[in-house]
Amino acid sequence: MKQLDEILEEKEDYLQRYIFANRRIHSIFEETTQEDCPVNIHGAPVGEYFHQVSAFLLQIEELWNKKTSGELEHYSMEKLQALNTSLYHDITGKQYEESWANPSTAQKKLNNDFAPALCTLYTELRGMIVYAYENRPFFLAALAELFIEIYNILEQGDASAQEIKSAIYYYFLDYSEITVADSLHDSFDPNRKFAVDIICNCDLSDLRYLYRFGEYITENELETAKYLNTLSEQEIHDMAFTFTDGYRRGFSLYNIDLSKKKSVNIRYHLGFERMIREVIRQFEELGLSPCIYRASVSLARRSPRGKVGYYGASPNKQYDYDHRMDDALFFDKAYAEHRLQEQEKALESMKELCAEFAGPAVMETFGEIPFNPIEKEEALHYSKKQQKWKIEFQAANGMLLNEYIPGDQTSFSIISYPLPEIGENYREIFEKTICVNTLDQSKYLEIQTKLIDALDQGEFVTITGRNGNHTKLTVSLTPLTNPEEETKFENCLADVNIPLGEVFTSPRLNGTNGLLHVTKTFLNDLEYHDIELTFEDGIIKDYNCRNFDTPEENKKYIRDNILFQHETLPMGEFAIGTNTTAYALGKKYQISHLLPILITEKTGPHFAVGDTCFSHEEELLTRNPDGKKMIAKENDFSMLRHTDSKKAYFNCHTDITIPYDELGDICVHTKTGQSIPLIQNGRFVLPGTEALNEALETSI
């Protein structure tokens, strides 16, 4: 197999192909300007589609010329902002209602079977914006040629929708050798320096640097960068150190040798470059080089669970939501198997890079206006067969990645900060978030140890709601064989998962029953009203919410975005959040609904559906600070990794939190029939934990 670097370095060849393709696109633009446009399907305005999309592609050609010539380097801030606006204009605001990227609009205009394929094609072509900024002629040429191929098919006059789908299918299939390997090199190869060069070499006081990435830029990114420029070097150092030291502590906690690792993946929201530059420096002191890759713009890598990588603002969250399943256009078993084969070949060719990878360092943001999507029947959705194939593909892919990058040989760190969109108290909230991220670990260690000591005595725990919350759950716990040396709950301080403040376990599925209910919550950036999950022996038996008018719509919303196409999921985690300071922050500034799950999960008990917290790390020895060994790491599904690995993992983990103001009681029940109350009416009552109530009282 030709090495990926050889293929991608053949820039002159792809450059010539791209130049040649653009000549044809110019002619397509001219041809579709005419009234007697040669592309016409039963009177549908396909000519209009190709005219507008070819105009976009010519805009990309102009962008690429300006980028490669260096002209963009001399643009003023005003010209860069105007360019950025024009590139994303078609899918922002009201413009999206008339865009060919809108599935409803495409179907309305064409009113035929071609609409889904042409809508998907245009969405894929929009990824050429970032390929132009990165000067990647392979992707520019390949996509331009795909556009021409489909135009040529339709120009014949008797084409079928299946021919168009087939052309798109074979584009992704035939180029998967390159695209799969390219994606993996982005993830694990520190020599990919597009973003690192911008972060480390630009004058970050000149905010024009933000437009070098090619992402959509709004006031969130600009104002974040402005604010970070007001902070002292010491403040930036300390913010970065909280992040990188948590990462280092994770390796120490799990007894993994960090000295054998050479790379770290940093994921973040644009605007934080001043902090990220310092993060890079501190990681380099630990012997780790940064891999910073863009969140995917291609349907081949797009994740329905959100953006993975670095990213700017979303031009339109409804656009993102509409296209989260675009590969349903052609996804089949043969395609999945082929991609897995290419994935294995690529991983084998770069196994040294994989072995040197330490894990991700993720910086999340919060504060954006909540998004409640519109479900469009015209948007692509997986069929029953595709759901099955997709789940099997994700399971096999997860196992394959774990083979080359074992979960018990990597760690991670995750932290979160607000965006200016959170409101007029942004700077104050930012400062308070820093405080939440750096709470006194010794205080929480003592309190959480008391909670764990009580929980370790339990056979099961009961959880109830109040104030309109109907939760009534029984969570079964793994039994201990040696209570003096073992524990059922991990004591989570500020190491990998920042901020501190929870004790968590993998529940025993048998005996875990009842209703989990939250009146309003945000999961994976989506809003849920009155979400209800009913568990029977640890498995979701039924589910519902009240976002839409019909039960069918509500169930589909949960199945697509929480179950991720699985028929059901187990309860993978039960935890008690202890960070009442974070809860008070949300209440004081009325931003509880805007806090990310990273913080929200610490503001009450939470229950994850999907894999356990110890997915692929079950054999890794971990101990709490008191020396006790954590033994509750798996369940009936993860145990199948020894006998039927395809059924062991679900490749998803979604935390659902009951906030303190909706929480009734949490009580531990022992084998002898004793009841040990931990929380009553939303307040901590276990002796030694009452200090947590101080922040709760101030939040009233």
Question: What does the DSSP assignment read for 84-98?
Answer: HHHHHGGGSGGGGGG
pLDDT averaged over every residue in the chain = 93
Q: Is the pLDDT of residue 235 over 90?
A: yes
For residue 571, which phi and psi values (nearest 5 degrees)? -80, 110
DSSP assignment letter at 659: -
Q: State the Cα–Cα distance between residues 319 and 497, nearest whole angstrom.
A: 31
H or E, element range at 239: helix 233-253
pLDDT value for 1: 42
Asked if residues 490 and 575 have their Cβ atoms less than 8 Å apart, the reply is no
Nearest one of 680, 241, 690 to 443, comparing CA atoms: 690
Question: Tens of pLDDT along 258-307?
Answer: 999 999 999 999 999 999 999 999 999 999 999 999 999 999 988 767 78
- How do residues 353-381 score in pLDDT, each as one tens digit? 999 999 999 999 999 988 889 999 999 99
Residue 624 contacts residue 485 (beta carbons within 8 Å)? no
- Rounded to an integer, what distance in angstroms lies between the CA atom of residue 586 and that of residue 593? 8
Q: 478, 488 in Cβ contact below 8 A?
A: yes
Question: Which residue would you say has higher pLDDT here, 22 or 372?
Answer: 22
Give residue 34's pLDDT: 67
The pTM score is 0.89
Closest by Cα among 491, 486, 493, 501 to 456 = 486
- If you average pLDDT over each of 111-120, 168-177, 596-605, which comes out highest? 168-177
Contacts of residue 67, defined as CB under 8 A and 6 or more positions apart, other chains included, come to 132, 133, 135
pLDDT, mean of residues 128-139: 96
| Burial annotation 301-317 (CB, 10 A radius, 16+ → b, else e) | bbeeeebbbbbbbbbbb
The string of pLDDT tens digits covering residues 570-590 is 999 999 999 999 999 999 999
Q: What pLDDT does residue 65 have?
A: 96
Asked if residue 630 has pLDDT above 70, the reply is yes
Instruction: Report residue 693's pLDDT band, with 50, 70 and 90 as the boundaries.
Output: very high
The beta-strand segments (E) located in 302-348 are none
**Predicted pLDDT at 111:** 76
Residues 331-351 pLDDT 10s: 999 999 999 999 999 999 999
| Closest-CA residue to 474 (of 537, 568, 522) | 537
In this model, does residue 2 exceed pLDDT 80? Answer: no
Residue 141 has pLDDT above 60, yes or no: yes
* Cβ-contact 407, 496 below 8 angstroms: no
CA nearest to 372, candidates 555, 591, 525: 525
Residue 422 scores a pLDDT above 80? yes
User: For residue range 72-118, what is the model confidence (pLDDT) as tens digits?
Assistant: 999 999 999 999 999 999 999 999 999 999 999 999 988 778 999 99
Measured CA to CA, the distance from residue 605 to residue 451 in angstroms comes to: 13
Q: Which residue has the tokens 């519109």?
A: 374
Mean pLDDT of 27-45: 73
- Residues 551-587: b if buried by 16+ CB within 10 A, e if exposed: eeebbebbbbbbbbbbebbbbbbbbbbbbbbbbbbbb
Per-residue pLDDT, averaged over 25-38, amounts to 82
Of the candidates 451, 469, 411, 695, the one whose C-alpha atom is nearest the C-alpha of residue 576 is: 451
334: exposed, middle or buried (C-beta count within 10 Å: 0-12, 13-18, 19+)?
exposed
